[in-house]
Amino acid sequence: MSSGSNVEQKQAEYSNYKKLEFTQTNNISYLDNQRDPVYFKTKIRHEKITKATNDILKICITDRRGLHPREFCRRWFGLEQVNEYGKPHYTEDYILAMESEHGYREKCINLIAKILKIKPNTIHRWGKGVEFDKIPADKRLQYEIYLGYVDSLRVFSMTLAELDKNSVSKLLYQLGIGSQN
């Protein structure tokens, strides 16, 4: 019996040693990553991507709300951009002036028509200007949720595009999606 318990004890010690070795390896890797400025910036951007995407998806799925076509166009064409401190680039008056410029409504209609896979003439009937206040009630929620999904993909892809190739590879590896090269 002592021989069997001795073997079990050795196996337990070996298992604990491997756990300790794994923990130490991960801690070293973590410390190295914390010293790497590219990793640190990538991590911060990744957290921002995740938060923005989660916020949009929460609104779309949990709250069953989406993006109104006007708000979608503002975001798509960069009128609601914010600087690194979270302040808007443009004032509301400037945004309203941009929306009233010749051709902006047509750009919005064509964009929405392509995304929703409906005819531009249908969107023309949604009202004057970019208010789109005459969207059919039975389709409104469906369209707005779909626009919310598309916007979350836009935010995610735009942020990934800002990262360099090496950072994207590291990020995908950490997420368990890619391989470390």
Instruction: Give 31-85 pLDDT, tens digit per residue.
Output: 444 555 555 566 666 676 677 667 766 666 666 668 899 999 999 998 888 776 7
pLDDT reported for residue 24? 43
Half-sphere exposure of 150 (CA within 13 A, CB side): 20
Which letter, b or e, does each residue of 9-44 get, where b requires 16 or more Cβ atoms within 10 Å of its Cβ?
eeeeeeeeeeeeeeeeeeeeeeeeeeeeeebeebbe
Q: How far is CA 121 from CA 107, 124, 138, 141, in A?
A: 13, 5, 18, 20
For position 134, what pLDDT does the model report? 93
* pLDDT single digits (tens) 89-104: 889 999 999 999 999 9
For the residues of 67-100, what is the DSSP string, one character each?
--HHHHHHHHTTTT-B-TTS-BSS-HHHHHHHHT
> Tell me, what's the pLDDT at 114?
94
- Please check the confidence at residue 152 and state whether its pLDDT lies above 60: yes
Confidence class for position 25, pLDDT limits 50, 70, 90: very low
Domain residue limits, the chain: 1-35, 39-174
Chain Cα centroid distance, residue 12: 44
Q: What is the pTM of this model?
A: 0.59
How many whole angstroms separate alpha carbon 33 and alpha carbon 114?
42
